[in-house]
């Protein structure tokens, strides 16, 4: 198997693309794009707010559970003391 290497200093220009006629956007096109962008922003903001609300609810639930656990532990200790007092 032979590989032929051509050491040419000739630079081959890249093929030119066909010029496509540039369509200038109309006022309606621009307004539609702006409206779509605003809708995307609102949707993104709403989803972020929903995620934050969900996280806040989880945090609140966890803190409530911790408070209830602490209360149960306190009452459990008091209950044990009361039972021991009755036995004595």
**pLDDT reported for residue 81:** 87
Domain boundaries, the chain: 36-88
CA distances from 88 to 70, 74, 78, 79 (A): 27, 21, 15, 14
pLDDT band at 21 (very low <50, low <70, confident <90, very high): low
pTM of the model as a whole = 0.48
**pLDDT reported for residue 6:** 66
- Dihedral angle over CA of 38, 43, 46, 48, nearest 10: -100
């Amino acid at each position: 198997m032979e590989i032929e290497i051509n050491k040419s200093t000739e630079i081959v220009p890249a093929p030119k693309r066909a010029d496509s006629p540039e369509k200038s956007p109309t006022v309606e096109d621009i307004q539609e794009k702006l409206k779509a962008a605003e809708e995307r922003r609102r949707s993104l903001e709403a989803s972020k707010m929903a995620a934050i609300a969900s996280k806040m609810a989880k945090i609140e639930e966890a803190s409530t559970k911790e408070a209830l656990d602490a209360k149960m532990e306190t009452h459990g200790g008091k209950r044990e003391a009361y039972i021991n007092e009755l036995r004595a």
